[in-house]
């Protein structure tokens, strides 16, 4: 991903779309999320109409193009990425947002570059590139977890609880847990913000770790499998 996550926000909150910008983007409720379809475009619909979207950069430029142009697919975006970022940037000044920031120990509002990086990370997740390791994990675990149904978590679950994959009982469709896919480098950053978010979900979340994007080796596959079997 060609995003510079080497900035204070992602050092503090982990390289995910968690942290205070998440609740600040939803001050008026989940349905009125500033990153949602109501204020920009449904990424799932966009991907359905444009299966050629595979990389983050494509997703970002397609969101903007569907704002500026009338695409023949019929979808229209109500904002560009920059406009989405601007609205979240400004929402930080709301009293409720100030409370959230204060609670997290953030002394001032996050700068625009931080906010747009966060928005890009969120929008880029809905691409093949963003989902690469999650899709791979589903493939590599499904044979052994044949009693279960594994599916990519929706953006909401990912944003709020840092769950990448939802595991359901195949017959009862009951949720039995979740899986978070992370490179081992994540765990060197100190604060494990993901685990903190996981705990709020109410189902167990196990972390499947891989070495790096180049070799893509699972480091604890059997361990994760054993939690479900
Ligand atoms: Zn289109």
What is the tens place of the pLDDT at every residue in 158-176?
Answer: 878 889 999 999 999 999 9
Helix ranges (H only) for 50-127 are 56-68, 81-91, 95-103, 112-124
CA of residue 46 to ligand 1 center, whole Å: 7
pTM over 0.85: no
CA of residue 120 to ligand 1 center, whole Å: 19
What is the tens place of the pLDDT at every residue in 194-211?
Answer: 888 888 999 999 999 988
Q: Rounded to whole angstroms, what are the CA distances from 75 to 49, 64, 137, 189, 209?
A: 8, 12, 31, 40, 37
What is the tens place of the pLDDT at every residue in 103-136?
Answer: 999 999 999 999 999 999 989 887 766 677 888 8
Give the C-alpha separation, 110 to 192, whole Å.
21
CA of residue 26 to ligand 1 center, whole Å: 26
Please report where in the chains the tokens 């590139």 appear, as a residue.
129
CA of residue 124 to ligand 1 center, whole Å: 17
Tokens of 139: 């493939």
Q: How many CA atoms are closer than 13 Å to the CA of 215, on its beta-carbon side? A: 9
CA of residue 73 to ligand 1 center, whole Å: 4
| Confidence category of residue 1, pLDDT binned at 50, 70, 90 | very low
CA of residue 91 to ligand 1 center, whole Å: 29
Beta bridge partners of 178: 166, 205
CA of residue 175 to ligand 1 center, whole Å: 34
Judged against a pLDDT cut of 90, whether residue 24 lies above it is answered with: yes
Beta bridge partners of 179: 165, 206
- Dihedral (CA of 109, 111, 116, 121) sign: negative
Q: What pLDDT score does 2 carry? A: 62
Quote the radius of gyration of the chain (alpha carbons, Å). Answer: 18
Q: What pLDDT score does 213 carry? A: 64
Q: Decide: 184 and 192 in contact? Cβ < 8 Å.
A: no
Q: Decide: 118 and 92 in contact? Cβ < 8 Å.
A: no
CA of residue 71 to ligand 1 center, whole Å: 4
* Topology classification of domain 132-226: Trna Endonuclease; Chain: A, domain 1 (3.40.1350)
Domain boundaries, the chain: 8-129, 132-226
Q: Decide: 56 and 164 in contact? Cβ < 8 Å.
A: no
CA of residue 69 to ligand 1 center, whole Å: 9
Q: What pLDDT score does 214 carry? A: 65
Quick one: what percent of the chain has pLDDT higher than 90? 60
How do beta strands 205-210 and 175-183 pair? parallel
CA of residue 40 to ligand 1 center, whole Å: 14
């Amino acid at each position: 991903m060609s995003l510079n996550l080497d900035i204070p926000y992602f050092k503090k909150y982990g390289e995910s779309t968690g942290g205070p910008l998440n609740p600040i983007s939803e001050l008026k409720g989940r349905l009125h999320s500033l990153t949602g379809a109501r204020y920009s475009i449904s990424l799932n619909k966009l991907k359905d109409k444009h299966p050629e979207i595979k990389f983050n950069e494509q997703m970002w430029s397609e969101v903007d193009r569907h704002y500026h142009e009338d695409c023949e697919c019929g979808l229209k975006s109500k904002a560009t990425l920059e406009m989405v970022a601007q609205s979240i940037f400004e929402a930080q000044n709301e009293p409720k947002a100030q409370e959230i920031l204060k609670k997290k120990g953030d002394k001032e509002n996050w700068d625009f570059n931080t906010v747009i990086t966060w928005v890009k990370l969120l929008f880029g997740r809905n691409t093949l590139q963003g989902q690469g390791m999650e899709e791979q994990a589903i493939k590599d675990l499904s044979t052994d977890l044949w009693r279960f149904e594994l599916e990519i978590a929706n953006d909401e679950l990912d944003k709020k609880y840092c769950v990448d994959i939802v595991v359901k009982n195949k017959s009862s469709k009951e949720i039995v847990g979740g899986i978070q896919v992370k490179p081992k480098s994540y765990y060197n950053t100190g604060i494990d913000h993901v685990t903190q978010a996981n705990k709020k979900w109410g189902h167990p979340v196990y972390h499947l770790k891989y070495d790096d994007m180049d070799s893509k080796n699972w480091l604890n596959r059997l361990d994760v499998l054993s939690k479900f079997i």
